[in-house]
Every structure is written in structure tokens, then in C-alpha cells.
Homo-oligomer: A and B are copies of this chain.
Amino acid sequence: MVIILEKNASQEQVNNIIKHLEDYGFQIHQSTGVERTIIGAIGVKPDFDTRKVRILEGVAEVYRITTPYKLANRSFHAENTIIKIKDVEIGGNKIAMIAGPCSVENEDQIFRLAKSVAKSGARILRGGAFKPRTSPYSFQGLGEEGLKLLRSAADENNLLVITEVMQIDHIELIDKYTDIFQLGARNMQNFSLLKELGKVDKPVMIKRGQAATIEEWLMSAEYVLSGGNKNVFLCERGIRTFENYTRNTFDLSAIPVVHKKSHLPIIADPSHATGLRDQVPPMARAAVAAGADGLMIEIHDDPENALSDGPQALLPDSFQKLTEELRLIAKAIGREL
């Protein structure tokens, strides 16, 4: 922490500030210039509330100098984390493709779509069984029946499964069927759930909250990591801004920023980010070009009758075509898909 004192701070104020810092356990470095005094305070845990110092008399500004996350921080873990699940890797040179419907709706639907996913070369099947819906009157998912169908459809096509967990007492149930736990954007700061996911022995994908800074997002990863689960990856899916033509604003800059600040893999979800089918292909291409370690894409073969989010789902044919384009872009930047 660095404390900048007011121009006219009295000696008494300076002494009081230093006393407080020492009481909080900091080691002090004072630097007195012509106009200003600067105090460096070192040695306390990263989540110290700097406002405690900001409110002392004589203090002009306070800056935290350590990032509040340790385990997610590239400074302490220089090499990329590569998550391995059976023969699939996330975070390596190969870009991981995740695809499937928003919700599992029935046996036919999920088996047809799983086949389509496998055909494209993607290796991970998505599908919601418990759905977070803004309205209490909307379709809320098939529950365990959906999980069973998802697992069978994946197994028949040699795919892995990712599905969302919304509450602690569903973890055990979902664990029976999934390979990867998905934490949704609305639950990114559901700290109770994050703590429990720190105890599972399967990878966790954390979607970025609509109003979450990159730092807060990495703090949510820190919750899982600090619980002992090292297999965490992130998923950019758009943030909320004033622009409302698109459902969210896809913050693709988050990809190189996360790669710089953290060793965790980061993938991108252009379906939720844009909310409109015709925006998905250009934004999927852009995400790969920006360096995403994977993509999550919603597909449906009857989007007009989909029980949720049909309008943002790609048709299977468009998805195959997109996959071919992405392969070329991956190659252009020295990666595979």
C-alpha cells in the first residue's frame, strides 16, 4: 500500500498515520519530498481495506500495491495452466470447442445435437438441466432427467459434458453426470457456492458477471483455487453497458488481459455475449483471433421452438461452416482447433 499525504499534513497527523499502519502490522517506508510525503506500507494480507487509511486525517490518496489474488496470479505461477480431462485439454495450443443447446429439452433433441457437435470435431457438449431464468414463469429445465439425457448423448458420441450448477445442494447430483461444472454469470459472486466448488475434484468454468471487473472475476477464481481445486478456467460472455442493440457488450480485450494477469485458461461465449444468431459467427472468429483458449457456442436444429434462447442458437449447418472458418483463423495465429 502507498499512502500519499496531503501537501500540508502536520507532523502530528503524519505520526498518527504511521502509528495506525504499525498497529495494522505494516512495515513502513517514508519518503519526504519538497511538496509531498509518501509512505510505503508493506507486509499485510492483500485484502486489507485501504479505506481504513484513506479516512485518516492528513491522507490524500491511498493505493493498494498488491493484487488481491495470489493463486490465480501469473506473477506467482508463470506457466499456463492446462486442464486435462480424459483426452481433452483446455489451455493448450489446441482451441477447445464446446457446443450444444441452451437447455436439454428431450431425448431426441439432445441426441441429434450431440451428434452434430461430434461431427464438427468439438469434444465438449453443453446443455442446461437447471436453468437460471429472469422470470419465475419461464421454463426452468428438466432437472435430473436432463442430466441423464445429456450424459447418455455425450457418451454415445465420445464427448465430455459441461452443465451449470446453481445451488450447493445440487453439486452432488450434478457431479454424477458432468465432467465440468459451469458457474453462471449471475452466480459469479455467489461466494457460498464458490467455496463448495473449491472442494470438488472436477474442473470449474466461471462465467464473468455482467458487472464484474476482470479483477473481481479473478477473485472469484481465487475462491475456488483457495479451496484446493486447481482446475479453473474462465469464460467471457459480455458485460452490461449502455449499448443495448446487442444483449451484452462482448469484452474481447479481456482475453489478452487475463492471459497477462493470470495463468488460467479463458474461453469466450459469443452466443450469450451478443444474443443474436447473425452476430455469433463474426464474434466467434474475433474471439479466436484475439487468443481465446476455447469457445462455447449454442446450437439448435429447431430454434423457433427451443424452450430457451433459441434466437441466439446457430443451426447445425452454420455451426459446421463456422468451424471450418475458425480452423483457418486458428492456423493463421499458430494454433489448432
Report the stretch among A60-68, A109-117, A172-180 that lies at the interface. Answer: A60-68
Chain B's nearest CB lies how many Å from the CB of A222?
6
Instruction: Tell me, yes or no, whether A244 is within 8 Å of chain B by CB.
Output: yes
Copies in the complex: 4
> Which residues in B have their C-beta under 8 angstroms from that of A271?
none
> Which residues in B have their C-beta under 8 angstroms from that of A245?
213-215, 257
Complex formed: what's the CA distance from A74 to B45 in Å? 34
Chain B's nearest CB lies how many Å from the CB of A337?
12
Complex formed: what's the CA distance from A77 to B260 in Å? 42
Q: Is the CB of A246 within 8 A of B253?
A: yes
A50 — nearest CB in chain B belongs to which residue? B311
A311 — nearest CB in chain B belongs to which residue? B51
Complex formed: what's the CA distance from A325 to B333 in Å? 7
Query: What is the interface of chain A, defined by CB distance below 8 A to chain B?
Result: 2, 4, 6-7, 20, 27, 29-36, 38, 40, 42-43, 45-47, 49, 51-52, 54-56, 60-61, 63, 65-66, 68, 75, 132-138, 166-169, 186-187, 189-195, 209-211, 213-216, 219, 222-223, 226-227, 239-246, 249-257, 260, 273-279, 282-283, 285-291, 303-304, 308-312, 325, 328-329, 331-333
